[in-house]
Amino acid sequence: MITSKKGETYMLSKEIVLTYEGLKKLEDELDRLKGVKRREVAEKIKQALSFGDLSENSEYDEAKNEQAQIESRIMKVEAMLKNAKVIDEEDVSTDMVGLGCKVKLLDMEYDEEVEYTLVGSTEADPGKAKISNESPVGMTLVGSKVGEIVEVQVPDGVIKFKVLDIYK
């Protein structure tokens, strides 16, 4: 965030890197928020208003808070979509690890194979083996090639991986 000489505050827009799947997911979320969620909260507000006195109407306060959260999320998703850069799978190289590619690694400490998809931070979901290019593992893997051994500094120490395969 920056502040002008006049005291106006502006958000600096950060490019959001997405796959087509991630883009679709954000677009679907925005549609749901603008349609279903807005209608639901409007109905809750209408119902709470029918209870009368707003000064002690917790249902009304709760519905207004929910409305504020929904509107905030809509603004955030719209900003992400505005600044989105979509990774075209056709442009994803398998010569070296980069955004949008899948990588098979050998965890050298446990002698186990693991597979990850390297995505932008917005789409990261470790539970689904989608790691961010901004995470310690992701940053270390970017630019590595098949056969290379990479060392990743993590809070518990150092993890060594051997890059076994890079694919789409």
Distance CA 47, CA 158 (A): 56
Distance CA 101, CA 92 (A): 6
pTM of the shown model: 0.71
Residue 142, domain member (yes or no): yes
Residue 114, domain member (yes or no): yes
Count of CB atoms within 10 A of residue 98's CB? 19
Distance CA 164, CA 105 (A): 5
Domain with residue 61: its CATH number is: 1.10.287.180
Domain termination residue (choose one: 60, 86, 112): 86
Domain with residue 151: its CATH number is: 3.10.50.30
The domain tally of the chain equals 2
24, 27, 34, 59, 75 from 79: Cα distances, Å: 15, 12, 14, 30, 6
Residue 3, domain member (yes or no): no
Say whether both 49 and 107 belong to one domain: no
Domain termination residue (choose one: 33, 66, 86): 86
Domain termination residue (choose one: 42, 58, 86): 86
Of the CA atoms within 13 Å of residue 75, those in its CB half-sphere come to: 8
The length of the chain in residues reads 168
Say whether both 39 and 66 belong to one domain: yes
Of the CA atoms within 13 Å of residue 80, those in its CB half-sphere come to: 22
**Burial state string for 41-70 with b = 16 or more CB within 10 A and e = fewer than 16:** beebbeebeeeeeeeeeeebeebbeebeeb
- For strands 157-167 and 102-107, give the pairing: antiparallel
Say whether both 93 and 163 belong to one domain: yes
pLDDT tens for each residue of the chain, 168 residues long: 444 444 544 454 678 888 888 999 999 999 999 999 999 999 999 998 888 777 778 889 999 999 999 999 999 999 999 999 998 878 888 999 999 999 999 999 999 999 999 999 999 999 999 999 999 999 999 999 999 999 999 888 999 999 999 998
Say whether both 95 and 54 belong to one domain: no
Domain that holds residue 60: 15-86
